[in-house]
Amino acid sequence: MTVFNYQCPDLHSHSLASDGALSPSELVKRAADYGVTCLALTDHDTLAGLPEARAAASQHGIDLVNGIELSVRYETREIHVLGLWLDTDNGALQARVAAQREARVERARQIGRKLDRAAGLANSYERACELADDVAPGRPWFAKMLEQAGRVRNHRHAFNRFLKQGQSAYVSTPWCSLEEGIAAIREAGGIAVLAHPQAYGMTRKRLRQLMGAFKAAGGEGMELAMPGLTPQQQTLLNECWQHFDLAVSAGSDFHSPEQRWLALGRLPPLPSQARPVWAGR
């Protein structure tokens, strides 16, 4: 059994395999440069970056955790669930990832059609695919395409004008349910962790309802040690993990070196009385 080195863990990161800025090997090297001893690659709805990351981790002396960040549906909202310590050969997980992939492809096609009309462009989907070198480009690639086409000033302007919820090219995605996503993670021998609970803009009551549904569906952990939490957010999250008896995790949600407000592995400590998700591993 692998014994992981959790002196400086970062269990939430992204690469070019989804919407990160670095290749999996570049991400691992950067994590090593920042002193990370254990890294989870948790790309959105894909396992594609893990083989490259695993090879790089062996070169840099980092313990790599097989991970994913699944997009799931909770009531009418999109919620993200991390799967950690996954058996990537598991059939149920592979089927779920394939279904998520198809949902992303269809969403990208719809975004392209909407942008052709709203931004006065042609072949928006194909142009975003070319930039991403992928048939399922996410919204950041459409933002880059819009910027290159001169339709927006920058990435933020692209989202504010076209791509964020409520704007002309926003498309929601028919993700699997919270229960289905957690079931696939558990089938693959993984632990399901609720990602960045504070990011959903929920009231205390609504967040506690989500936590209850997450725990009832088989969820076992929640992210707690994250950069940039306000004292009020930290207090609420501390209340939640204790009330629902959840293990806690630490992750930067790193996407790009341009995120100067965070760095791989630069995370606050976990409370001494909390149970880390890696306990016993």
SS3 269: coil
- 81 within domain boundaries: no
Contact 76, 175 (CB under 8 A): no
**Alpha-carbon distances, residue 159 vs 15, 108, 126, 212 (angstroms):** 21, 15, 19, 32
Cα angle at 85 between 9 and 178, to 5 degrees?
105
pLDDT at 273: 94
pLDDT for 21 equals 86
How many CB atoms lie under 10 A from the CB of residue 34?
16
pLDDT score, position 2? 59
pLDDT tens, position by position, 220-241:
999 999 999 999 999 999 999 9
In a domain, 137, yes or no: yes
CB-based contact 118:124 (threshold 8 Å): no
Task: Look at residue 7 and give its three-state secondary structure.
Answer: coil
Dihedral of alpha carbons 182, 185, 188, 189, sign: negative
Q: Is residue 63 part of a domain?
A: no
| Spatial distance between the Cα atoms of 56 and 54, rounded to a whole number of angstroms | 5
Rounded Cα–Cα distance for residues 29 and 23 (Å): 10
Are 206 and 104 a contacting pair, CB within 8 Å? no
Q: Is residue 180 one of the residues assigned to a domain?
A: no
Ranges in the chain, pLDDT < 50: 1
What tokens does 35 get? 């002193």
Q: Are 85 and 182 in contact (CB under 8 A)?
A: no
Residue 268 lies in a domain: no
Q: What is the predicted pLDDT for the residue at 106? A: 94
Task: Name 44's Cβ contacts closer than 8 Å, sequence gap at least 6.
Answer: 14, 18, 19, 68, 69, 71, 80, 138
- Look at residue 3 in the predicted model and tell me its pLDDT: 61
- Would residue 157 count as lying in a domain? yes
The rounded distance, in Å, linking the Cα atoms of 112 and 118 is: 10
Task: Please report the pLDDT score of residue 261 as a whole number.
Answer: 80
Buried b (16+ CB within 10 A) or exposed e, 193-216: bbbbbbebebeeeebbebbebbbe
DSSP 142-201: HHHHHHHTTSSSSHHHHIIIIISTTSTT-----PEEHHHHHHHHHHTT-EEEE--GGGG-
Does residue 127 belong to any structural domain of this protein? Answer: yes
- Tell me if 200 is assigned to some domain: no
What is the tally of structural domains in the chain? Answer: 1
- Run of H or E including 221: strand 221-225
Which residue range is the domain that position 151 belongs to? 106-163
